[in-house]
Amino acid sequence: MTLNEELLRAERTAWGMARGLNVEPASWGYLLAVAQREIGYYQKRLLLPDSEKLLSEEVASPLIAAARIILEVADSFDRVALDTLDAEKARQRVLLLTLAGCAFGMYGNFPSAAAVHKKLDDRELRSDGLWLAAAVSNPRLIPRALLSSHITGQTRAFIERLNYFLRTGDEGEGDRLVRHLEELMVANRSPAEMTMLGCARLALKQITTLAIAKLMKRDRSTIFHRYISNIIEDQRHCLLPPQYNVLKDDDLLESENNCIITLPTSTGKTLIAGLIIAARMSSAPRVAIYVVPYIALGRQVYETLRRHAPDHVAVLGYFGVFNSHTTIPSDAYSILVVTPERLDGILRTSSNIYQRLDTVVFDEAHGVENGSRGARLEAIITRFRLQQQKSYPLRIVLLSAVLSDVVHLRRWLGTDAEHYSDTWRPTARRLGIWTHEGVLAWIYGT
């Protein structure tokens, strides 16, 4: 679907008004009505079988715009000191923020739903329906929902059942969860709660598709299952739509071929790379390498992999002076997080490193196109390609958001190299210019 002109104009107007820009004004009530009309279309039960189509940014674009409008309307209350809001306006703010979170969840954008709910205090969720809608659209709230005195026994049973599904990926629970939620929807609820639960039903359907725990149902090692369990313990319950789209057919994790993964910024390329590494893990003392271009990213990746890797896997960081004198264990599976410069030194001094290699990931791989560091990166990748030609069974993975010549790089990685891509992104992109009259002219916006 595409955005109709009224919805597109409303979304841009809401964004501009919220930032004090010189845009044609509209009332917040009108903007909210436009968004709610769009949301109402997606609440219909007959759309549930086609919910996976909404994982496409293009198809979900009207719903995305509506979610953003509702959030801007809710945030308009924050431009007044919250402790000065009267009771009715404070209640409206809570309802709108909860609805905005549900709307983001309807197309699988659970990180945005979680960000919205951070604007709320748990004490503001004073009804069973509010907690139910919030917990479905933001599964990170489940532990707090279960502690709330506002939920009924029936809702508690549902949330516990949802929590079980998110930890096990039990295929049989998916449809049963939706039916269970529908039973709770017919309880004595306010119109506002019914609206939110209608949205939460579609968000729940997305959960049953995107749950990370479902990856454990594939026939892989116990080590891989431990890796998935650690991701879930880290409060990462669902894949983002682009992660799901590149992982759903199993080719990416099962393949032995080199590959390029191009996804927009902030869409979880690091998590995908970790899953690729984990899919090839074994109890043998082999080695995976994760190459990062700079120290700050190295620390981020290092900490993430340490949280997710099973206990017997050694995660070592080699960037700057970090772990400068740490040797690679010879009796354990190891993941090295390295800068190109440090990797160059390791390859020159570790005589048996190539024989032990499983997977080599290059993050921000577009660096190969840039200057002297690009030349070093190209030389390192070439070295690994030569080792592959000697029949060492390592896999090369390139990650990037902005590669300009994927065709050439894919050819360089081998005739059987694969390319996985998606255009979905979790945040808005906007480009505009100020005219000399002080008017903001839109050039582009999604």
446 pLDDT higher than 70: no
pLDDT tier at 322, thresholds 50, 70, 90: low
Q: What is the pLDDT of residue 357?
A: 96
Cα within 13 Å of Cα(161), Cβ side: 20
389 pLDDT higher than 60: yes
Q: What is the pLDDT of residue 351?
A: 77
Q: What is the pLDDT of residue 358?
A: 95
- The pTM score is 0.91
The secondary structure of 168-210, three-state, reads: HCCCCHHHHHHHHHHHHHCCCCCHHHHHHHHHHHHHHHHHHHH
| C-alpha to C-alpha distance for 51 and 65, rounded to whole angstroms | 17
pLDDT 10s digits, 77-100: 876 666 667 888 889 999 999 999
pLDDT 10s digits, 48-57: 889 999 999 9
Chain CA centroid to CA 111, Å: 6
Phi, psi (rounded to 5 degrees) for 430: -140, 135
Edge-first strand order for the sheet with 259-262 is 314-318, 334-338, 287-291, 357-362, 395-400, 259-262, 418-421
Which of 414-442 are b and which e, b meaning 16 or more Cβ less than 10 Å from the residue's Cβ?
eeebbebebebbbeeeeebeeeeeeeeee
| C-alpha to C-alpha distance for 157 and 142, rounded to whole angstroms | 12
Report yes or no: 256 and 402 within 8 Å, Cβ to Cβ: no
- Residue reference for tokens 């190295």: 298
Cα within 13 Å of Cα(28), Cβ side: 14
pLDDT tier at 45, thresholds 50, 70, 90: confident
Nearest to 70 by CA among 102, 35, 107: 35
17 SS3 class: helix
1 pLDDT higher than 60: no
Please list the residues that pair with 357 across neighbouring strands: 287
| C-alpha to C-alpha distance for 93 and 78, rounded to whole angstroms | 9
- The lowest-confidence range among 3-17, 71-85, 177-191, 195-209 is 71-85
Q: What is the pLDDT of residue 428?
A: 72
Phi, psi (rounded to 5 degrees) for 420: -120, 130
The percent of residues above 90 in pLDDT, for the chain, comes to 71
| C-alpha to C-alpha distance for 385 and 258, rounded to whole angstroms | 10
pLDDT 10s digits, 225-267: 999 999 999 999 999 999 999 998 778 999 999 999 999 998 9
pLDDT tier at 437, thresholds 50, 70, 90: confident
CB atoms within 10 A of CB 301: 23
Strands 287-291 and 357-362: parallel
DSSP string, 204-271: HHHHHHHBGGGGGGSS--HHHHHHHHHHHHTT--B--HHHHHHHTTSHHHH--S-EEEE--TTS-HHH
What are the structural domain ranges in the chain?
5-210, 221-421
Q: What is the pLDDT of residue 44?
A: 84
Per-residue pLDDT, averaged over 221-226, amounts to 90
211 pLDDT higher than 90: yes
pLDDT, mean over the chain: 90
pLDDT 10s digits, 291-319: 999 999 999 999 999 999 999 999 999 98
Q: What is the pLDDT of residue 443?
A: 53
Q: What is the pLDDT of residue 16?
A: 85
Stated as kind and residue range, the H or E segment containing 398 is strand 395-400
112 by Cβ neighbours in 10 Å (0-12 / 13-18 / 19+) ranks as buried
Better-scored residue on pLDDT, 291 or 440: 291
Domain with residues 221-421, CATH architecture: 3-Layer(aba) Sandwich (3.40)
pLDDT tier at 133, thresholds 50, 70, 90: very high
Q: What is the pLDDT of residue 2?
A: 61
